[in-house]
């Protein structure tokens, strides 16, 4: 009971803080932009954690769905006049469908193979995108390596969000963030999430109970792809630009750090990780190319020493405390 109250108050407190942040930072577009990015990457990290941490699927293709979503929305807006809102939906659905197409054969593969195949998408996608750049086709162009420009931002009740006024955009992003996090939360709490917990804790039993691992994995894969696609689309309408440089290895690394830092499979660790890492990433910018070296070493450090991520810190303290207790009781035993 106390735990519940504590969790709810943490949640509400966090939401309130996030909601009033613009009051302090509205003057600085730089900071507002960072905050919006935190929210966007928060969703990306959490949805990646859904497939990687909760469902335990070695998918490294999450960023690919992000990019696909961005391009679908951008191309639809540019060449078919589709509004951003519809574009988000379209992006999500296309991403989910592609997720299914990839997932159906691949989810049957062993973890290691799946990891490499999905990882390879990182390399394949940009080259395909660049291939369909300027001059390739009469009807459309992906913009090549420069990316797709002039993607429209969403409009609500006659007001068009724009990067000149970041406070409204922030609140739109905030709403988006809350909705996405809520969806992910409900999936984890739903029978689907419970099924994965069962598969993790007692696999043979779970399977005799008829839990079809493959079907659930496929479902979560498609859902996380959908979320990634929508997020990518939103990102595209925020920056009004989407290009292959949004899915370089560096970005992949950074988002992976977010997921790991927060702790794999522990909600909402990844989102917290996203906030911390996005800010850290900005703070490290003065170091130029060393930034990525540092982040890479951070991954290594985290995996070796903090394999449960940020959410595991209470555990670390707890086990230290327990060890101290044991030592104390051992000592008093020996004295008797």
Partner 1 sequence: MTSSTVVNLVLAGITLGAVYLLMAMGLTLVYGVTKVFNYAQGSFFTWGGYIAWCLSVGVLRWNYYLAIPITILVMFVMGMVFQNLIVLPLRSKPGWDFTVIIVTLGCALVLDNLALVAFGALSKTLPNLLEGNIRYGKFAFAKHDLVMLLTSLVVLAILQVFLSKTWTGMALRAVSQDNIGARIVGLPLNLLYSYAFGIAAVLSTIAGILLVPRTLLYPEVGWEVVLKAFVVMVLGGLGNIKGTVVAAFILSIAEVFISFIFGGIWAMPIFLAGLVVVLVFRPKGLFGQW
Which of 16, 249, 316, 320 is in the footprint of partner 1 by CB under 8 A?
Answer: 249
- Considering only the stretches 9-17, 163-171, 194-202, 249-257, report the one whose residues sit in contact with partner 1 under the rule CB under 8 A: 249-257
Cβ distance to partner 1 smaller for residue 189 or 318:
318
How far, CA to CA in Å, does 163 sit from each of 102, 108, 158, 235, 254? 35, 44, 16, 12, 24
Q: At which residue do the structure tokens 């609140």 appear?
A: 171
Which of 6, 7, 108, 324 is in the footprint of partner 1 by CB under 8 A?
Answer: 108
- What is the smallest separation between the CB atom of 226 and partner 1, expressed in angstroms? 21
Cβ distance to partner 1 smaller for residue 58 or 234:
58
Closest CA to 113 of 122, 105, 123, 101: 105
How many residues in the shown chain lie near partner 1 by CB under 8 A? Answer: 40
Contact 54, 44 (CB under 8 A): no
Contact 46, 271 (CB under 8 A): yes
> Can residue 313 be called a binding residue for partner 1 (CB under 8 A)?
no
Residue 31: count of CB within 10 angstroms of its CB: 17
**Start-to-end C-alpha separation, the chain:** 40
Cβ distance to partner 1 smaller for residue 28 or 287:
287
- What is the smallest separation between the CB atom of 230 and partner 1, expressed in angstroms? 25
| Binding flags for partner 1, 34-73, as an x/- string (CB under 8 A) | ------------------------x---------------
Burial of 111 (0-12, 13-18, 19+ CB in 10 A): exposed
> Can residue 286 be called a binding residue for partner 1 (CB under 8 A)?
no
> Can residue 12 be called a binding residue for partner 1 (CB under 8 A)?
no
For 150, residues 6+ apart whose C-beta sits below 8 A from its C-beta are 78, 240, 241
> 265 phi and psi, to 5 degrees?
80, 0
- What is the smallest separation between the CB atom of 258 and partner 1, expressed in angstroms? 13
What token pair was written down for 23?
A: 């009051």
> 55 phi and psi, to 5 degrees?
-85, -5
- What is the smallest separation between the CB atom of 281 and partner 1, expressed in angstroms? 14
> Can residue 245 be called a binding residue for partner 1 (CB under 8 A)?
no
Cβ distance to partner 1 smaller for residue 34 or 306:
306
By CB under 8 A, name the binding residues for partner 1: 58, 105-106, 108-113, 115-117, 119-121, 123-124, 127-128, 130-131, 249-250, 253, 256, 260, 288-290, 292-293, 295-300, 303-304, 307
């Amino acid at each position: 009971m106390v735990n519940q109250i504590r969790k709810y108050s943490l949640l509400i407190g966090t939401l309130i803080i996030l909601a009033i942040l613009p009051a302090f930072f509205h003057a600085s577009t730089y900071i507002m932009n960072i905050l919006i990015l935190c929210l966007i990457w928060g969703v990306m990290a959490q949805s990646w954690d859904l497939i990687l941490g909760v469902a335990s699927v070695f998918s490294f293709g999450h960023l690919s769905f992000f990019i696909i979503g961005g391009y679908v929305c951008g191309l639809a807006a540019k060449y078919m006049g589709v509004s951003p809102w519809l574009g988000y939906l379209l992006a999500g659905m296309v991403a989910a469908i592609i997720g299914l197409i990839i997932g159906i054969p691949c989810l049957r593969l062993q973890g290691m193979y799946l990891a490499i195949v999905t990882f390879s998408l990182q390399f394949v996608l940009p080259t395909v995108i660049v291939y369909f750049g300027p001059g390739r086709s009469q009807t459309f162009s992906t913009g090549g390596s420069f990316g797709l420009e002039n993607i429209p931002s969403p409009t609500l009740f006659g007001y068009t969000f724009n990067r000149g006024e970041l406070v409204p955009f922030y609140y739109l992003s905030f709403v988006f963030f809350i909705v996405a996090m809520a969806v992910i939360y409900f999936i984890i709490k739903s029978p689907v999430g419970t099924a994965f917990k069962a598969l993790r804790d007692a696999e043979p039993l779970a399977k005799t109970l008829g839990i079809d691992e493959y079907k659930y994995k496929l479902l979560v894969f498609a859902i996380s792809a959908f979320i990634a696609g929508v997020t990518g689309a939103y990102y595209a309408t925020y920056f009004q630009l989407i290009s292959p440089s949004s899915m370089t290895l560096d970005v992949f690394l950074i988002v992976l750090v977010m997921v790991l830092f927060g702790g794999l499979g522990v909600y909402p660790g990844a989102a917290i990780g996203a906030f911390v890492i996005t800010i850290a990433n900005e703070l490290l910018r003065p170091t130029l190319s060393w930034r990525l070296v540092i982040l890479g070493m951070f991954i290594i450090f985290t995996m070796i020493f903090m394999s449960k991520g940020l959410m595991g810190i209470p555990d670390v303290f707890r086990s230290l405390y327990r060890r101290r207790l044991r030592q104390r009781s051992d000592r008093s035993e020996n004295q008797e």
